[in-house]
Chain A
Amino acid sequence: MTVLPVVAQAVAGGGVEKLINTVASGIALGAIYAILALGFVIIFKATQVVNFAHGAIAALGAYFVVYFATVLNVPGRLIGSAPKLLQWSLSALVAVLVAAVIGMVVERTAIRPMIGEPLFAVAMITLGLDLVVRTITADYLGNQLRALGDPWGAGVVDIGVLRVSQTQVVMIVVTGVAMAGLAWFFRTRVGVAMRATAFDQEAAMAQGINVGKVFATAWAIGAALAAIGGIFASMSPRAAGVTPLTAFVAFRAFPAVVIGGLDSIPGAIVGGMLVGSTEVFVGSYLSGVSWLGVGFSGIVPWLLMMLVLLVRPYGIFGTEEVRRV
């Protein structure tokens, strides 16, 4: 209980202004985690695969943006007269699409042969994939920090006392759009097929649903969302660019998923917001508490996850596993 007075003292020290700004950047970081968690949950729900390579794919997506926007300038070189914002956004779109294709390739080559195998075995395959993708990305990055070259840079928006960076506004908007898009997607024909497959794979197959196609779609969407999350995780307020460590930042979306429940889409969003806000709050209010150590906010998600699991072993919204003899 010695922690409480310290926290109270720390919170009192900043004033309302600091509080509002912390809430805002908490929501922005929460949006990153939520979008990463969302991709993870979609893959898990549709294909029953725990994707440990999610962080690696996120970093790879961010690297593609570096490559397409700053090295190759695709498709910017074709439309040289267009504004920089449009050029960069198109490059990012191309990067996300390439990540989606990579997700499909991964599903087809490494995951499809494992249908019907134990969950644990498939999870270990994704762990192997994580090593492969993470190492190759690190090699192409040359083990250094590479800026994404986004048009916003370190620019800020002032709304009264609230000061948020432009990238954070973009993050929250894109996350909102992605969620709305997904809500719409789950009402389309393919989306309904995916929901049916998530409910019962064999029954879905018996109804004439092409389960293989559903798997590929789920991995494409999951990898695309991972890439978007990775791009935002390596932009201005969080970092100055992609590094080999970006994958580990994206790893912190795992606690978000687990807190929300592995198979719950609202859980992913709630978990992401919860983890993001807690991390930012600890980072800004408890950074002066020396015995917590340097970089304590980085392990807050994991500690929060363990706390939640002790109370609710399947996360907040997760379906409890039915145990039968």
Chain B
Amino acid sequence: MRGRPGLFTRYQTEMSLLPTTTQRVALISLLVAALVMPLGGIPLLGFLGDGDWLVILNRALVFAVAALGLNLLTGVAGQVSLGHAFFMAVGAYTAVVLGGEAGTTVWGLGLPIWIWLPAAGIAAALVGMLVSPTAVRVRGLYLAFVTLGLVFIGLHLWRNLGKIAGGPTTGREWPPLELALWRGQDPLVSFDSAGPWFGVELGAEAKTYFFVLGFAALFALISKNLMRTRIGRSWTSIRDRDIAAEVMGVNESHSKLQAFAISSFYAGVAGALYAVVLGRVIPESWDLLLSVEFIAIVLIGGAGTVAGTLLGTFFVVLIPRVVEDFTFWLAGQAETGGAFSWLANLVVATTSDDFGLVSTGAAGPGLSVFQLNIVLFGVLIIVFLIAEPLGLFGMWIRIKHYWKGWPFTY
């Protein structure tokens, strides 16, 4: 119905993925923008096509896959999990044992990507299914502690299983991102070396970008579809009122098993991609901070929504880069005496005896840029939970309602 987007005459239209024309147009233009971006084709945002920005965007897209998984478990099914980093690690190490090169100190079978990538997801899903009986017995915040324990137990394993994880301080090399039929054969498509595709010259980062973009889009579509089927509805009902759900015929333990398995599958695939895109990962990377980062993404973006989770991912992953750039720009202002040097003098410490909240030097008294970003994470979680519990998605809903009712405020 033109001009009346809230009016549905058929159940099917109401349940469709994109009920309104505006949403369809927005999604298509977003996809087109995502496709031309690595070519530097977007006006004003052309810098996003640079190699160093593409590295960050690739990281964001991989994180999006993992965050979508956590969103299903925590946002939709309501099971608090701090163990997402553990499941990612399970996936990553499955991938490296199956796909990595064998060495004198490490195991590796050298199998191609079409084996190790699905296997990473399946291995993580199996471990998730092992954990889920605990989730049925242990409720709410006790579950948070169990999954917190998983992270520490996992870290112990990765530190000590040198054959799988490599040295505690050096880690090991993950297989390259390329599609081959079997081990030892020339790759059909390589996603991490520069070269022409269909007559267009592309850098290695751009190729990786297209690969992970495809995965992020696929997993977003899967979780959107899961949420409007029987499985998704059973998760929502368990989150909202578990006893009522059981009375209505939802099998609680079965649903939680599905939630843990599917969420861990997402995490496993994302973990494998994360390690492969980085190339080399040390065992200490799979720590509590990584788990908290995903919790932050889901909470800041808006728990239980796919669009919110994607927004949250880009927000959380891109903010550190923006903060870093801004800090160094301020430091530059302080040195050259620009218009903002007064602010720079207050905030940034460039030498070790300079006062400031942030230091750009290695030994400054203030926080390093990396530490500042961690603090910022914490503050963002707190501020969003207090001020806007529905996250970025909630903000968008509020803006939408404002214009919908304009000039009335109700």
Q: Which residues of A contact B (CB under 8 A)?
A: 50, 110, 113-114, 117, 119-121, 123-125, 127-132, 135-136, 138-139, 251, 254-255, 258, 262, 293-296, 298-299, 302-303, 305-306, 309-310, 313-315, 321, 323-325
Q: Is the CB of A313 within 8 A of B145?
A: no
Residue of A nearest to B247 (CB): A325
**B253 close to chain A: CB less than 8 A:** no
Query: Which residues of chain B in 148-176 are interfacial with respect to chain A, using CB atoms and an 8 Å cutoff?
Result: 148-149, 152-153, 156-157, 159-161
Q: Residue B389 at the A interface, CB < 8 A?
A: yes
The interface residues of chain A, by DSSP majority, are classed as helix
Q: Is the CB of A294 within 8 A of B160?
A: yes
Q: Chain A residues near B371: list those with CB within 8 A.
A: 135-136, 138-139
Chain B, interface size: which category?
35 or more
Closest B-chain residue to A323, C-beta based? B243
Q: Which residues of B contact A124 (CB under 8 A)?
A: 295, 299, 381, 385
Contacting A at CB under 8 A, from B345-402, are 366-368, 371, 374-375, 377-382, 385-386, 389
Q: Which B residues, 239 to 253, have Cβ-Cβ distances below 8 Å to chain A?
A: 241-244, 247
Segment of B49-57, B134-142, B210-218, B272-280 in the binding face:
B134-142
B386 CB, nearest partner CB in chain A, Å = 5
Whether A254 contacts B145 in the complex (CB less than 8 A), given A138-B371, A303-B153, comes out as yes
The answer for the CA separation of A123 and B385 in the assembled complex, in Å, is 10
Contact A132 B378 (CB under 8 A): yes
On B, residues with C-beta under 8 Å from A are 80, 134, 137-142, 144-146, 148-149, 152-153, 156-157, 159-161, 241-244, 247, 289, 292, 295-296, 299, 366-368, 371, 374-375, 377-382, 385-386, 389
- The chain A residue sitting closest to B160, CB to CB, is A293
Given A50-B141, A136-B367, A309-B146: A128 and B160 within 8 A (CB)? Answer: no
Number of A-B contacts (CB under 8 A): 124
In the complex, what residues of B have CB within 8 A of residue A113's CB? 386
B379 and A139 form a contact (CB under 8 A): no
Q: What's the least CB distance linking B32 to chain A, in Å?
A: 36
- Whether B375 contacts A255 by the Cβ 8 Å rule is no
Which of B80, B145, B367 makes the CB contact (< 8 A) with A120? Answer: B80
Known: A293-B160, A299-B153. A305 touches B145 (CB 8 A): yes
* Contact residue among B159, B160, B378 (Cβ-Cβ distance under 8 Å from A129): B378
| Interchain CB contact (< 8 A) of A125 among B142, B148, B385 | B385
Q: Contact at A131–B156, with CB atoms within 8 Å?
A: no
A258 to B146 CA separation, bound complex (whole angstroms):
9
A255-B138 in contact (CB<8A):
no
Q: Is the CB of A139 within 8 A of B368?
A: yes
Q: Is the CB of A313 within 8 A of B139?
A: yes
With A298-B156, A310-B137 known as contacts, the answer to whether A127 contacts B292 (CB < 8 A) is yes
Determine the chain B residues whose CB is within 8 A of the CB of A254 once the complex forms. 145, 148
Complex-state Cα separation, A170 to B190, whole angstroms: 64
Task: List, sorted by A's number, 9 A–B pairs whose CB atoms are closer than 8 Å.
Answer: A50-B141, A110-B382, A110-B386, A123-B80, A131-B374, A136-B371, A139-B368, A309-B142, A310-B137
- What 4 pairs across the A-B complex have the smallest Cβ distances? A293-B160, A128-B381, A131-B378, A302-B149
